[in-house]
Amino acid sequence: MKKAGSATDPLWYKDAVIYELHVRAFQDSNGDGIGDFPGLMSRLDYLQDLGVTCIWLLPFFPSPLRDDGYDIANYNDVNPSYGTLNDFKLVLDAAHQRNMQVLIELVINHTSDQHPWFQAARLAPPGSPERNMYVWSDTDKLYEGVRIIFTDTEKSNWTWDEVAKQYYWHRFFSHQPDLNFDNPRVMEEVLNAMRFWMDMGVDGLRLDAIPYLVERDGTSCENVPETHVKIKEIRAVMDAEYSNRLVLAEANMWPADVRPYFGDGDECQMAFHFPLMPRMYMALRQEDRLPITDIMAQTPDIPPSCQWGIFLRNHDELTLEMVTDDERDYMYYAYSADPRMRINVGIRRRLAPLVDNNRRRIELLNSLLLSFPGTPIMYYGDEIGMGDNIYLGDRNGVRTPMQWNSDRNAGFSTAVPARLYFPVILDPIYGYQAINVEAQLSDQSSLLHWTRNMIALRKLFQVFGRGTLEFLSPANRKVLAYIRHYEGPDGHSETVLCVANLSRFAQAALLDLKQYESMVPVEMLGYVPFPPITDQPYAITLNPYSFFWLELQPAMEAPQPPIPISDEEAAEIALHPIDVPQTAATQPDVSRAVVPDAS
Ligand code: NOJ
Ligand code: CA
């Protein structure tokens, strides 16, 4: 009998809106300066209200925290700083009660050097199963030429171990030895860890650093066929024992190299689309849609059960590994004026500072995130436009405490400020007194309200998570226009035209919409009908950095203005601005598209 996950639809991840957070950064409940599970529990209402449907928790396992928890010392427990296993379980159950799924990390390429397996391996005789939990060599010349990922800290993928008297292999920090997938005991342990969390009820696992599982001499040691065999094995066990669960591939690769991680629908259901991310920023800065249309043209089709995970920012640097040398130079020039903003092969900045805190640019990028094919993943704090601190080491500048209000420590913790795991952002633009949840909740025109409305709107249309994508090619390349189309199983279909102005100046464009002749584009935020489409080019004008989402409706269903509402209803909407179905409730086709106060 398979153990079911919390979602009822096996393809739940296609309609999800994922929110990525670190429990350490979200809310401290006991005043020790470190966020914890009881703290997260107290903020679940916030996440539900924001409208996200899935929480992705960054690593929360026992760890020396030299790579923010991606250096795991015990797979089957919770880091005591964050609470207990039971505290985690309570959060998991409470999220499920709110119809939110929970995605956690399965970091299997490597462990911490403090993991008991590594400590035992060092002491065990060479060639023994204990030693062979990791990848050892007498020489550091094996696998020569394999690239180094953490270029700022590591000079080699091998480190000499004085106790073992051998070199061990590591693709990341030297304190993160790679597990040896040629040893069957490693797979047994991986499956044990998977079962441990899936038995508890987690809905999905992000497979960290998955391209590097297996090493083979004479190759780049990335994406080798034997690695895919391992992933298929993990997926097969998951499918045999569990239902409605997800594995998400973290493979920072070109689209063609990511494609095999979906297999024939028998590897990962989801994979991040890494190359799209920097190209959204590039298109914005160059005021030219080409970087986006180009990478999407290189993006292969994926099996029907599969889905891209798309994002603007995450807990790492804005990686520039999957761009050309010229593109990388341009991105560094355009987005990291201060060299401190750079780390490894990327830029360690949050969304708002990257776009100079320009609200229209933030909204424009989010409109792409929420309307491109795939499941959007939002990084905590970006919904309020949080800033970063480039003076913290590593990638920690984008991992500072969540800013809840203007009280001490941004309402994150009652600890003395010096005790916080990282200082809160204090500068006059992004500091917690200027940027915080409480203030933005009480401000109807805040970024937070806008984000809530956009999430609510997206969730009304399955086309965004499940539909096809077709770019239009207006002569004006500053305008990005695309059609999303979805044929539902019940004969119901949705067609949405998205138009975005990438320029800082107003733009006009003529769109070839002949195939939709006589349909009426209806602006989806305000439910405003635009002139019907004819056989002539469709003229559209856009303010700087503005966008439209237009549902194409048959003319006969052309919308009425939203029906008048009573004073009581108006007051209710003001209190619950995303309570979408409360307006125009008598016109189902109309009400779907109405989100009050989307200004
Ligand atoms: C990818 C994670 O996103 C990153 O934060 C981490 O440092 C590396 N994997 C190594 O685990
Ligand atoms: Ca705490």
Residue 134: CATH number of its domain: 3.90.400.10
Residue 592 lies in a domain: no
Closest residue by Cα to residue 203 from 273, 108, 100: 100
Query: How far does residue 95's CA lie from ligand 2's centre (Å)?
Result: 20
Residue 266 lies in a domain: yes
Asked if 16 and 153 sit in the same domain, the reply is: no
Tell me the pLDDT tens digit for each residue of 354-386: 999 999 999 999 999 999 999 999 999 999 999
Tell me the pLDDT tens digit for each residue of 39-63: 999 999 999 999 999 999 999 999 9
Beta strands in 74-210 (DSSP E): 101-106, 136-137, 158-161, 166-169, 204-207
Residue 582 lies in a domain: no
Domain termination site, one of 427, 459, 491: 459
- Residue 490: count of CB within 10 angstroms of its CB: 6
Residue 198 lies in a domain: yes
From 36, 203, 208, 382, active-site residue: 208
Asked if 202 and 336 sit in the same domain, the reply is: yes
- Separation between Cα atoms, residue 158 and residue 95, nearest integer Å: 42
Active site residue 568: no
Closest residue by Cα to residue 495 from 453, 517, 458, 467: 467
Query: How far does residue 66's CA lie from ligand 1's centre (Å)?
Result: 11
Mean pLDDT of the residues in the chain: 94
Cβ 536 vs Cβ 411: under 8 Å = no
pLDDT of residue 596: 45
Asked if 365 and 225 sit in the same domain, the reply is: yes
113 ligand 1 Cβ < 6 A: no
Total tally of structural domains belonging to the chain: 3
Tell the residue nearest (CA) to atom 6 of ligand 1: 70
Residue 483: CATH number of its domain: 2.60.40.1180
CA 548 to chain centre: 23
Residues of the chain with pLDDT under 50: 562, 577-599
28 ligand 1 Cβ < 6 A: no
CA 503 to chain centre: 25
In this structure, what token pair is assigned to residue 5? 């996950």
pTM (predicted TM-score): 0.94
| Domain range for 550 | 467-575
Tell me the pLDDT tens digit for each residue of 455-514: 999 999 999 999 999 999 999 999 999 999 999 988 999 999 999 999 999 999 999 999
Asked if 133 and 31 sit in the same domain, the reply is: no
From the CA of 315, give the closest atom in ligand 1.
5
Residue 505 lies in a domain: yes
From 250, 316, 388, 394, active-site residue: 250
Cβ-based neighbours of 531, under 8 Å, separated by 6 or more: none
551 ligand 1 Cβ < 6 A: no
Asked if 202 and 301 sit in the same domain, the reply is: yes
70 ligand 1 Cβ < 6 A: yes
Asked if 436 and 316 sit in the same domain, the reply is: yes
Asked if 559 and 536 sit in the same domain, the reply is: yes
Asked if 202 and 313 sit in the same domain, the reply is: yes
Asked if 489 and 429 sit in the same domain, the reply is: no
